[in-house]
Amino acid sequence: MKGKTIRVLYYFLLLASLAFKPSSCSSTMSIGKKYFVRIVNDLDNKPLDFSCKSGDDQINRSLPTAGSQFEFGFRLGFTTQFNCDLRYSTYHAMIIAFRDEEALLNDCGGVHCIWSAREDGIYLYRIKHDDYKKWYDWENQIQT
């Protein structure tokens, strides 16, 4: 009986410490809540290829025309982060499409992070401002 009481007390203290301990997740995020990332091809008549990875999850897609888009959803874990490699013509950009980062989450403004690939860079749609903000530049893959 004493062993069971100690075990119950241990689990209670563990849960209480998790509930009251400051989390690595920002106050705007909830573990288990569903979030979305959308990649939009806003290039002038050029195909956009991308691959996104988080832990064991890998997403590879091609968006052949301007205006085409792809969205994926996921449930938030303690360390969820999606890194994406976007490519068109001779250019590529490595972006952090989603992670628990205050600046990124504030600009996303909700559960959707919408990325727009354009000739001059990669933009994030800011829902609260109803505009796009440039976050990344393209890098030329061909070394001169």
Per-residue pLDDT tens over the stretch 99-132: 877 778 888 888 899 999 999 999 999 999 999 9
Domain spans, the chain: 25-140
The DSSP line for 43-108 is SSS--EEEEEEETTEEEEEEE-STT-EEEEEEE--TT-EEEEEEEETTEEEEEEEEES-HHHHHHH
| CA–CA gap between residue 85 and residue 1 (Å, rounded) | 56
For residue 113, give the nearest of 127, 133, 130 by alpha carbon: 127
Tell me the per-residue pLDDT of 33-74, one tens digit each, with 9 for 90 and over. Answer: 888 999 999 999 999 999 999 987 899 999 999 999 999 998
Q: Tell if the pTM clears 0.85, that is, is over it.
A: no
Beta partners for 118?
121
Fold entry, domain 25-140: Immunoglobulin-like (2.60.40)
